[in-house]
Amino acid sequence: MAEQQHAQPDTDRTTMSTAIYSHPDCLRHDMGDWHPESPSRLQAIEDQLILARLDGLLERRLAPLAEVPAVLRNHTESALALVRDHIPPPGETYALDADTLLCHASYDAALRAAGAALAATDAVLKGELANAFCAIRPPGHHATPSAPMGFCLFNNVAIAARHALDSHGLERIAIVDFDVHHGNGTADAFRDDPRVLMASFFQHPFYPYTEPEALTATCVNVPVPAGSGGDVVRQVAREYWLPALHAHRPQMIFISAGFDAHRDDDMGGMALVEADYAWITREIMAVAREHAGGRIVSCLEGGYDLSALGRSVVAHLKVLAELD
- In the complex, the residues that contact Zn ion under the rule CB under 5 A are 179, 181, 258, 260, 302
Whichever of 122 and 265 has its CB closer to Zn ion, that residue is 265
The distance of closest approach from Cβ of residue 195 to Zn ion in the complex, given in angstroms and rounded to an integer, is: 25
Name the nearest CA neighbour of 175 among 210, 199, 203, 147. 199
Are 163 and 146 spatial neighbours (Cβ–Cβ below 8 Å)? no
The distance of closest approach from Cβ of residue 260 to Zn ion in the complex, given in angstroms and rounded to an integer, is: 4
Whichever of 64 and 208 has its CB closer to Zn ion, that residue is 208
- Catalytic (active site) residue 142: yes
In sequence order, what are the residues at sequence separation of 6 or more whose Cβ sits closer than 8 angstroms to the Cβ of residue 75? Answer: 143, 145, 146, 154, 155, 159
Name the nearest CA neighbour of 29 among 134, 100, 104, 114. 104
The distance of closest approach from Cβ of residue 312 to Zn ion in the complex, given in angstroms and rounded to an integer, is: 13
Whichever of 291 and 311 has its CB closer to Zn ion, that residue is 311
The distance of closest approach from Cβ of residue 129 to Zn ion in the complex, given in angstroms and rounded to an integer, is: 26
Q: Cα(17)–Cα(280) distance, rounded to whole angstroms?
A: 20
SS3 assignment, position 221: strand
Long-range contact set of residues 39-42: C-beta below 8 Å, sequence gap at least 24 = 39/137, 40/306, 41/137, 41/300, 41/303, 41/304, 41/306, 41/309, 42/135, 42/137
Whichever of 230 and 302 has its CB closer to Zn ion, that residue is 302
Q: Cα(189)–Cα(160) distance, rounded to whole angstroms?
A: 12
State which amino acid sits at residue 154: F
The distance of closest approach from Cβ of residue 258 to Zn ion in the complex, given in angstroms and rounded to an integer, is: 4
Q: Cα(95)–Cα(113) distance, rounded to whole angstroms?
A: 20
Whichever of 36 and 302 has its CB closer to Zn ion, that residue is 302
Q: Alpha helix locations (H) across the chain?
A: 3-7, 25-28, 40-51, 68-72, 77-84, 106-126, 156-166, 184-190, 230-236, 242-248, 274-291, 306-320
Q: Of the listed 6, 23, 29, 142, which one is catalytic?
A: 142
Q: Cα(87)–Cα(122) distance, rounded to whole angstroms?
A: 29
Whichever of 260 and 283 has its CB closer to Zn ion, that residue is 260
Q: Cα(45)–Cα(28) distance, rounded to whole angstroms?
A: 16
The distance of closest approach from Cβ of residue 91 to Zn ion in the complex, given in angstroms and rounded to an integer, is: 28
* Residue number, nearest CB to Zn ion: 302
Q: Cα(117)–Cα(26) distance, rounded to whole angstroms?
A: 13
Instruction: Enumerate the active-site residues.
Output: 142
